[in-house]
Amino acid sequence: MEATIGPYQLLIGFLLLGIVLGAAPLIIPRLISPRYSGAKTDETYECGVDTIGSSWIRFSVSFYLFALIFVAFEVDVLYLFPIAVVYDQGFEWRDLVEVTMFLGILTLGIFYAWRRGVFEWR
């Protein structure tokens, strides 16, 4: 008799494989990493230089907003690269309108951040 794999057996196999592949990067480092905890372990380390004073200071929220805007615009540039690649391969007016709308929404994001004072450093 020929052994066949049913749809549920395949699904269960993929679920188990997903669980194993998801848990392996969390479990394997725990098993093979060293467990040394010395006096320097709990100290703050910044670029090879010992810190002076407390490292627990509050930063303005504008730093985080500026970083988020930077990341958002970096990702949006990735969406513009495929458009530049296919520009010579039959770019239509509809495509130009879509790209203009996309860039317009990005520009509105910059103006919003500007009005909120994200770009002003105090």
Closest CA to 118 of 57, 59, 61: 61
Question: What are 37's two structure tokens?
Answer: 């905890």
Q: At what angle do helices 61-85 and 93-116 cross, to 10 degrees?
A: 170
- Taken in order 27, 31, 34, 40, the sign of the CA dihedral is positive
Position with higher pLDDT, 76 vs 12: 12
Within 10 angstroms of residue 118's Cβ, the number of other Cβ atoms is 19
Q: What pLDDT, on the 0 to 100 scale, is given for residue 19?
A: 97
What's residue 55's pLDDT? 64
Q: What is the pLDDT of residues 36-75, one digit of tens each?
A: 777 777 776 666 676 677 767 777 777 787 788 888 888 8
Reported pTM: 0.46
Q: Phi-psi category of 6—alpha, beta or left, where left has phi over 0 and alpha has psi -120 to 50?
A: beta
